[in-house]
């Protein structure tokens, strides 16, 4: 059970960091292809989170 908690927390952390990056790129009006790449990575992390936990990712959530 502890291992799943650690894995879930790592997934939350990685998804949160990627979400912050997307927000930063949008705020800086970065090139569209750069934002699109970051969003694609974020969606992949959210899908992996759901696969690991069975839950949809929501910002600020605990694993």
Mean pLDDT, 10 residues at a time, the chain of 63 residues: 71 92 98 98 94 85 64
Please state the φ and ψ torsions of residue 38, each to the nearest 5 degrees: -65, -40
pTM: 0.83
Give the model's pLDDT for residue 24. 98
- The domain 2-50 having CATH identifier 1.10.287.10: the answer here is yes
Residue 46: what pLDDT?
A: 94
Q: Helices 2-27 and 32-53: crossing angle, nearest 10°?
A: 160
């Amino acid at each position: 059970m502890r291992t799943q908690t650690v894995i879930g927390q790592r997934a939350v952390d990685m998804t949160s960091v990627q979400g912050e990056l997307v927000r930063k790129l949008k705020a800086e009006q970065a090139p569209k292809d750069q934002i699109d790449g970051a969003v694609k990575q974020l969606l992949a992390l959210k899908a992996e989170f759901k696969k690991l936990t069975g839950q949809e990712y929501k910002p600020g959530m605990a694993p």
